Amino acid sequence: AEHLRYLSRHARVPISVMPNAGLPVLTSDGAHYPLSPAELADAQEAFVRDYGVSLVGGCCGTTPEHLRQVVERVQGLTPPERSPRPEPGAASLYQTVPFRQDTSYLAIGERT
């Protein structure tokens, strides 16, 4: 949810979310996704209401029942208006560093 919070504050484009049905638990029969259809629907409803997500769906571990409950839960919702405040910066897969410069020297580099 923290990623969505950040995107909802800064992204100028609509946000879509298609999560797994929970973090996978590896068993002898393969991966098991622990979220029930109701739990996934709870999360998706919160994403629309709290973060203004425009498109929701599902990925690994979601079943037709998961998606049916998600649709029932969000079909009448209108995402709230977002007022994004984009912040110039550089980003990697794991973090972003804003381009803010005080009175000190700002160096940007990449390790390979």
Residue 56 and residue 70 in contact, taking contact as beta carbons nearer than 8 Å: yes
What is the chain's alpha carbon radius of gyration, rounded to the nearest angstrom? 18
Question: So what's the pLDDT on residue 92?
Answer: 81
High-pLDDT (> 70) share of the chain, %: 96
Question: So what's the pLDDT on residue 112?
Answer: 65
> How far from 1 is each of 13, 25, 98, CA to CA, in Å?
18, 20, 21
Task: Give 61-93 pLDDT, tens digit per residue.
Answer: 999 999 999 999 999 999 999 999 888 888 888
Confidence of residue 56 (pLDDT cuts 50, 70, 90): very high
What is the reported pTM?
0.76
- What ranges do the domains of the chain cover? 2-86
Model confidence at 46: pLDDT above 70: yes
The residues, any chain, with a CB within 8 Å of residue 18's CB and separated by 6 or more, are: 56, 57, 58, 59
